[in-house]
Chain A
Amino acid sequence: MRQNVYTVAQINSYIKNMFTQDYMLRFVMVKGEISNCKYHSSGHIYFTLKDAKGVIACVMFAGNRTGLSFRLEEGQMVVVGGTIDVYERDGKYQLYAKQITLDGAGVLYEKFDRMKRKLEEMGMFAPEYKQPIPKYVRTLGVVTAPTGAAVRDIINIATRRNPYIQIIVYPAIVQGDQAVASIVNGIRALERLGVDVMIVGRGGGSIEDLWAFNEEAVAQAVFDCSIPIISAVGHETDTTITDFVADLRAPTPSAAAELAVYDFAVLLERIAAFGNALNHAMLAQLKKQKNRLEGQRLRLKYLSPVSQIQQKRMYCMDLEGRLTSQMKTALTQQRHRMGLYAEKLKGLSPLEKLHQGYAYIEDIHHRVVNDVRKVKPEDRVEIYVKNGIIQAKVEEAREETYGEGADIRADI
């Protein structure tokens, strides 16, 4: 039996045809680890995909690079989607990659954890290296993509809080294989420019999109930066290595702007409040001193000689008053008593007796003649009656008794 003999070209062509006709091989997803990766100057990437049991050659042509969002490196676990075809010249089949993605979050998380542990051991997360975020900044540096919500949010919130803040944006590439270098450059450029504080970050995305912020070079740049850095990567739930290294982690770009920029209105209020407090305290001091002065003045006034004199004068007047009134009372009393005596005396008055028809007799020597023996006939006497004096001559004087005591009886 004679066997057909084919040329190499023929057989390779035959095999290629078989591959081409296979429906499954037209687009297949293959998972494996990258090795022998070469970026060719033409833009094509050559690499081998391997696992524990075998290898397959792969190529990604420059025209398909849009299907790759990160830089291929040795040891990466990836899923490569593409066509399996034969390269007749070499008699080799290979995978013509159209898209390459890192294999699942699992691998990335492992990488993340490894990086986190490594940097933590290096002390890059240590609180003693954290710089305080200055409270009142004038210039804010922002390293982020120049388009998109993140930069708009930061600018809007920062200028709303303080319309006088100077914002300098470094337009960075935040994903893809140029991202790391771009972010590192941005941090260094703004550091050289001497902004007061820096926000480094981007809006939300998949773990692959945010990956640049987990790279050691970015972490190192953030760590080395002498200007305080606020990280703002993705959403609240996204945590990157940069967040751990940064001086402050903001959950979102908007929050970063609020943390970086003080509220101008609040500042003005604060200054005004200090003004009020000062005025208030000063007025209170003045009032207190015035009160003290007034107190001392009153005390001094009380102690002054003028006051003493006045006191004494008052006392004197008081005494005088009391004396006068006592005197008056005494006089009134005495006058009253005198009145009583006058009444009594009136009863005893000799004149009163004359009115009743009695008379008073004196001799020429103005001695009372109240005894018959004091006169003798021919003596001259004067008889006082109620309205005049009678000159008389005694004719006779004889003793007589009228019951009680004796009286004079004279004949005129």
Chain B
Amino acid sequence: MAKEQTLEQTFEKLEDVVAKLEQEEISLEESFKLYKEGMKLIKSCNDRIDKVEKEVLKLNENGELDEF
């Protein structure tokens, strides 16, 4: 599997999709395709965000992680 895209890359893609969608000369089919792609990208952005508050950890001498 290809390397997971970074959020920044996803944003660049989105930028691209929106720009294409804003072009005048584009078919309806094409615009639906772009719209669907864009919405998928947005969903993947949201999915990528791991919304779990984290404890700060401390690395001890044995290379183990303790709570800070």
**Chain A positions near chain B (C-beta within 8 angstroms):** 134-136, 138, 146, 155, 159, 163-171, 186, 189-190, 192-193, 264, 267, 270-271, 274-275, 277-278, 281-282, 284-286, 288-289
Contact = CB atoms under 8 A, between A and B. Distances in A.
Given A189-B63, A285-B21, A167 B56 contact: yes
B18 A278 contact: yes
B59 A170 contact: yes
Given A277-B18, A282-B21, A282-B35, A289 B54 contact: no
A167 B56 CA distance: 5
A288 B30 CA distance: 14
A169 B56 contact: yes
Given A167-B54, A167-B57, A271 B45 contact: yes
Contact of B49 (A134, A164, A166, A167): A164
Contact of B22 (A134, A138, A284): A284
Contacts of A267: 7, 49
Interface residues of B, number: 35
Contacts of B18: 274, 277-278, 281
A277 B22 CA distance: 9
B54 A282 contact: no
A168 B58 contact: yes
A164 B6 contact: no
A352 to B, nearest CB: 90
Nearest to A272: B42
Chain B interface main SS type? helix
Interface in B29-57: 31-32, 35, 38-39, 41-42, 45-46, 49-54, 56-57
Contacts of A165: 54
A275 B43 CA distance: 10
Contacts of B51: 164
A323 B63 CA distance: 109
A165 B22 CA distance: 35
A168 B57 contact: yes
Contact of A169 (B17, B22, B49, B57): B57
B53 A278 contact: no
A285 B26 contact: yes
A167 B55 CA distance: 8
Contacts of A134: 6, 8
A285 B32 CA distance: 9
Contacts of B38: 274, 278
A171 B60 CA distance: 8
A284 B34 CA distance: 13
Nearest to A293: B28
Closest 6 CB pairs of A and B: A281-B21, A136-B7, A285-B31, A278-B38, A282-B35, A167-B56
Nearest to A264: B49
